[in-house]
Structure 1
Amino acid sequence: MSAHDCIFDRAFGAFLFDMDGTVLNSIAAAERVWAAWAERHGVDVATFLPTIHGARAIDTIRRLNLPGVDAEVQAAFIAQAEIEDVEGVVEIPGARAFLNSLPAERWAMVTSAPRDLALRRMAAAGIGAPALLITAEDVQAGKPNPAGYLLAASRLGIEPGDCLIFEDATVGIQAAEAAGAPLMIITTTHQHPLETSHATLASYDAISASVDSDGQLRLKKN
Structure 2
Amino acid sequence: MTSEPVRPVPRKRVLFDVDGTLIDAVDNQRRVWETWAGQYGLDPEEVYRVALRTRPMETFAQVAPDHDPQACLAALHALEDEDVRSGVYGAFAGAAELLAALPRDSWALVTSNYERRVRGRFARTGLPVPPVVVDAAAVTEGKPSPVPYLLAAERLAVRPEDCLVVEDAPSGVLAGLRAGMVVWGVNGSVAAPGVHRHFASLGEAAAEIAAFAGAEVEVGRG
TM-score, normalized by length of structure 1?
Answer: 0.80
Tell me what 2:109 maps to.
109
Tell me what 2:46 maps to.
47
After superposing on structure 2, the runs of 4+ consecutive aligned residues of structure 1 that deviate more than 6 Å are: 218-222
Which whole-Å CA distance do the structure 2 matches of 1:99 and 1:50 have between them? 32
Deviation at 1:195, TM superposition (A): 5.4
Code of the residue aligned with 2:198 in structure 1: it is T
Which whole-Å CA distance do the structure 2 matches of 1:219 and 1:59 have between them? 41
Tell me what 1:7 maps to.
none
Which whole-Å CA distance do the structure 2 matches of 1:51 and 1:221 have between them? 38
Tell me what 2:17 maps to.
18
Question: What is the alpha-carbon root mean square deviation over aligned residues?
Answer: 2.7
Relative contact order (alpha carbons < 8 A, sep ≥ 6): 1 or 2 greater? 1
Q: Which string of whole-angstrom CA distances, capped at 9 and with x for unpartnered residues, describes residues 12-57 of structure 1?
A: 6200000000001111111111111123334432233244348643
Could you tell me which of 68, 74, 94 is aligned with 1:70?
Answer: 68
Unaligned runs of 5+ in 1: 1-10
TM-score, normalized by length of structure 2?
Answer: 0.80
8 Å contact 2:177–2:194 — kept in the other structure? no
Which whole-Å CA distance do the structure 1 matches of 2:23 and 2:53 have between them? 12
Q: How many residue pairs are counted as aligned between the two chains?
A: 205
Code of the residue aligned with 1:80 in structure 2: it is A
Tell me what 1:80 maps to.
78
Tell me what 1:127 maps to.
127
Tell me what 2:191 maps to.
194
Tell me what 1:36 maps to.
35
8 Å contact 1:164–1:182 — kept in the other structure? yes
8 Å contact 1:54–1:112 — kept in the other structure? no
Percent of residue pairs bearing the same amino acid type: 31
Given the superposition, is the C-alpha separation of residues 42 and 171 from structure 1 closer, same or farther in structure 2, using an over 3 Å criterion? farther
Which of the two has greater strand per residue? Answer: 1
Code of the residue aligned with 2:200 in structure 1: it is A
Tell me what 2:147 maps to.
147
Code of the residue aligned with 1:40 in structure 2: it is Q
Tell me what 1:180 maps to.
180
Which structure has the greater CA radius of gyration? 2
Unaligned runs of 5+ in 2: 1-9
Which whole-Å CA distance do the structure 1 matches of 2:53 and 2:95 have between them? 18
Deviation at 1:115, TM superposition (A): 1.8
Which whole-Å CA distance do the structure 2 matches of 1:219 and 1:72 have between them? 46
